[in-house]
Chains A and B, each alone.
Chain A
Amino acid sequence: MQLATKIAALAACLVLGATVFELVRKKRIREEYSLVWFAVAIGFGGLVLLDRLTLRIINLMGGTNVSSLFFFAGTFFAVLMLVHLTVRISEIKRKQNVLIQESGLLREQLERLSRRIEQEAEVPSEREQ
């Protein structure tokens, strides 16, 4: 791997790690979801630094250049992340439906109780008259 390519790839990993860290610090990403992105940044950084090992892995897979391994790993990770996010969205949608239903039911119950209290308050005042 050429030095310029190495520097660019390492810089990309550092930017990714720093961005995720900043998002966690600002509470825009929960810690539990940030771990996977730190792992990606460290993993890709490792592949860049250990380029001889990277090349051996590529040769074992029948490839000839380093970029093909990064492309393969990147695509595979992106697909895995999409599946993970779909699972999370489905789970959130299910929980959201329950909350929406409960919110409607509680509002109906509140209205019913308020009406009953108003009616009970009216009855004694009518008796007093």
Chain B
Amino acid sequence: MNPRMLAVIPAFNEQESLGAVLGEIARVDGVDAVVINDGSGDATSEVARSAGFPVIDLPVNSGMFCAIQAGFRFALRRGYNIVVQVDADGQHDPAGIPALVRPIVEHDLDVVIGSRFLGEVQYRMPRSRLLGTRLFAWITSILVRQRITDTTCGFRAYGPAAIRLFATDTSFEFRDAVGLVMLKRGGFSLAEVPTVVRPRHSGESSISMLSSILYPFHYLLALAVVYLREPVRRI
């Protein structure tokens, strides 16, 4: 595969950290980037433009998946065959992109997930969240019949078939563990590579207390729906 790589960076009120992230991406060879400004009320869009990157300004805040999907549509139309999802808060180290995309370039895999729990583990999270993350990873591993250690890390790379699917299927949100189970059911190949996730440069996480409480229920319901629906198809 002759890789044409695009880093998709969804951003909501990330004017403080976005500049540094874009600076790091510019230092990675062969990777273009697009910023999806998800209806920010600050200067997120201006920061990206002044750094010379294309910006897709969503007119209203529409949520993480809507923003990412806009990036997949952009990638499909501009002929990119690898998409890397990178957070705008500086938690993902763009220097890890070559290692993340290697399984796609060399082995034609469909999706590669950066795992915070493989290799030398440096990431610290509250015990309750760690327990939940481990539990979801364990359930997901059973369902996809493959060892998955981190289902919620957003640092991921997608190959051409996954890009086509994510850019065109608007019927479901392919996120986290449920997205992985759905992809595996549809015959997509998955892999994990170790990654380092850093503390946020600035700002606050968009994960609220309420969404943390509701997440397990949403996860279990969405998993049940995955098995009641027709599997997704490679396009």
Q: Which residues of A contact B (CB under 8 A)?
A: 94, 96-98, 100-105, 107-108, 112
Contact = CB atoms under 8 A, between A and B. Distances in A.
27 contacts: A94-B171, A97-B62, A97-B66, A97-B69, A97-B170, A98-B170, A100-B58, A100-B59, A100-B62, A100-B66, A101-B56, A101-B58, A101-B66, A101-B69, A101-B73, A103-B58, A104-B36, A104-B58, A104-B59, A104-B70, A105-B56, A105-B70, A105-B77, A107-B57, A108-B55, A108-B56, A108-B74
- List 6 A-B pairs, minimum CB-CB distance, nearest first: A101-B70, A104-B56, A97-B66, A104-B58, A108-B56, A100-B62
Instruction: Tell me the dominant secondary structure on chain B's binding face.
Output: mixed
Interface string B44-66: 00000000001111111010001
A102 to B, nearest CB: 8
Q: Chain B, interface size: which category?
A: 10 to 19
Nearest to B36: A104
A105 B74 contact: yes
A90 to B, nearest CB: 10
Contacts of A112: 54
B140 to A, nearest CB: 25
B62 A103 contact: no
Contacts of A105: 56, 70, 73-74, 77
Contacts of A104: 36-37, 56-59, 70
Interface in B65-88: 66, 69-70, 73-74, 77
Nearest to A96: B62
A108 B57 CA distance: 8
A118 B55 CA distance: 19
Nearest to B63: A97
